[in-house]
Amino acid sequence: MELFLLFLFFLLMVFFCFFLYSFPLSFKLKEPISKLQLPPGKTGWPIVGETLEFAAMGRNGTPEKFFKDRMSKYSQEVFKTSLLCEQIAVFCGPAANKFVFSNENKLVALSWPSSAKKIFPSSNSSTKLRAVALTLLKPDNLHKYVAIVDSIAKSHLETQWNFQKEVNVLSLVRQFDFTAACRLFLSINDPHQIEDCAKPFEVMAAGIFTLPINLPGSSYNRGIKAANSVRQKLLGIIKQRKGEVMDKQLVHDEDLLSLFLTKPDENGKFMSEPEIADHLLAALLASQDSTTASITFTMKYLAEFPDIYDEVLKEQRSIAQEKIPGEPLNWKDLQKMRYAWNVVSEVLRLVPPVQGNFREVLTDFTYSTFFIPKGWKIYWTPNSTHKNPQYFSDPEKFDPSRFEGSGPMPHTFVPFGGGSRICPGKDFARVVILVFMYNVIGKFRWEKLLPDEKTVVLPIPLPAKGLPVVLHPH
């Protein structure tokens, strides 16, 4: 069905191109290119732009190639393209990263692609989400979450991994992450209620960064329908909680939903129920796949490098020795997991879960001699530095020692972004990833069942078959 739709789409494009090119150039541009000195590059086909080429490289597991090819073709750290129906200037390299991160709300402002806007219609800005996420994830709360996530990880491993010879890492880690988010963001513990949301949530996430072709059967259309289904379930939960707040029976005073219900914005206005549902969807989306991908790829690399696995195990055993048997993990324990975090950082360098993000240009400016007009979109990406030998020698090599000492050069290692829009969930992600790794390594070694399993990036990187492994309990 999807192939047929794409074919239909291509036919439409061919007619559109013919129509467009039969007009003189002056109709297409308000001002001549030579005068404006726009960045070099192609915007590809009308509407789809270069999205299909970008997606094909992602499917091959090499999204960085899209940027690398163009950077070397134009010998520039900025080039233009068109992705997901947006005209974009791609900013590459550490200086460009610094420029984007330090000019937030001056020259540029965070912007979602229009495909995502249609899936979350009432979440036009993520400012409220950011503020609430920062309140929820303030240090005091994070410290408390360590023990809670530890107990969720233990019970998940006991019920889903123990006594299994082989497991599909991706699907189980996804289940663990979703359970942890439902518990901490919504105070939902019922496994049936969690499972009920998990499936449509996955379909929604898969639909968001596809071409926004809202035709029956397309991934985008399925994503919108799935988002509506999760939204309905969330609206039920919101209504029930609102009742508890009104009756002053509120017991979950520190989860994301309570914060959305009880904290007004700077003008004293409270969010409507559909707005809260969209913000909850966005929070689940921002946290879920990125953490799942990080844990899954950490497990993949530890299977491939047994000596690195042994080092992590050694660090863990020295932490465990200082604890009373059965005592849950705490914040101090996490600070001692330095080597484990270097391993995760190397995973985030080689397989960044987030491929980059958009900014909208607020006012005309010049960057590196190129004119960037107001209204354009900018895209920054970790793929422009993470695998560049200028900043990371032998960049394809898995080597956690890169993060020892002073670590990478500023603005070259940017899996969480940077500046005032840096990911507000980065410390929470660290808690979830390290706590899960501590528990799974404490119980098992594992071996990959598919030694040459491909990685696909759609747009979150994932092992193509979900990383099936054989478990060897200690």
- Residues that constitute the known binding site for heme: 423
CB of 126 to ligand HEM, least distance (A): 3
Subset of residues 276 to 295 that bind ligand HEM, contact rule: CB under 6 A: 283, 286-287, 290-291, 294
Helix (H) or strand (E) holding 461: strand 461-463
Residue type at 66? F
Query: Residue 271 class from Cβ within 10 Å (0-12 exposed, 13-18 middle, 19+ buried)?
Result: buried
Question: Among 145, 131, 134, 129, which residue's Cα sits nearest to residue 187?
Answer: 145
User: Residue 132 in contact with residue 279, Cβ under 8 Å?
Assistant: yes
CB 80 within 8 A of CB 396: no
C-beta of 282 vs 471, nearer to ligand HEM: 282
Q: Residues near 217 by Cβ (< 8 Å), separated by ≥ 6?
A: 1, 2, 5
- Choose the stretch contacting ligand HEM; rule: CB under 6 A; options: 1-9, 56-64, 152-160, 412-420: 412-420
CA distance 289 to 238: 23
Q: Does 425 bind ligand HEM (CB under 6 A)?
A: yes
124-143: which residues touch ligand HEM (CB under 6 A)? Answer: 126, 129-130, 133
3-state secondary structure of 398: coil
CA dihedral 308, 312, 313, 319 (to 10 degrees): 160
Q: How far is the CB of 134 from ligand HEM (least distance, A)?
A: 9
Q: Are 429 and 291 in contact (CB under 8 A)?
A: yes
Q: Rounded to an integer, what distance in angstroms lies between the CA atom of residue 77 and that of residue 384?
A: 9
Site for ligand HEM in 429-448 (CB under 6 A): 429
Q: How many binding residues for ligand HEM (CB under 6 A)?
A: 23
Q: Between 45 and 379, whose beta carbon lies closer to ligand HEM?
A: 379
* Alpha carbon distance, N-terminus to C-terminus of the chain: 47
Binding mask 311-350 toward ligand HEM (x if CB under 6 A, else -) reads ----------------------------------------
The verdict on 416 binding ligand HEM (CB under 6 A) reads: yes
Query: Least distance to ligand HEM from the beta carbon of 170, Å?
Result: 15
Q: Is 93 one of the binding residues for ligand HEM (CB under 6 A)?
A: no
> How many CA within 13 A on the CB side of residue 57?
14
Task: Decide if residue 354 touches ligand HEM (CB under 6 A).
Answer: yes
In the bound state with ligand HEM, the residue whose beta carbon lies nearer, of 258 and 287, is 287
**If binding is defined by CB under 6 A, does position 357 make contact with ligand HEM?**
yes
Whose Cβ is closer to ligand HEM: residue 425's or residue 459's?
Answer: 425
39 binds ligand HEM (CB under 6 A): no
176: contact with ligand HEM by CB under 6 A: no
- Residues found near ligand HEM in the complex (CB under 6 A): 110, 126, 129-130, 133, 283, 286-287, 290-291, 294, 353-354, 357, 415-417, 421, 423-425, 428-429
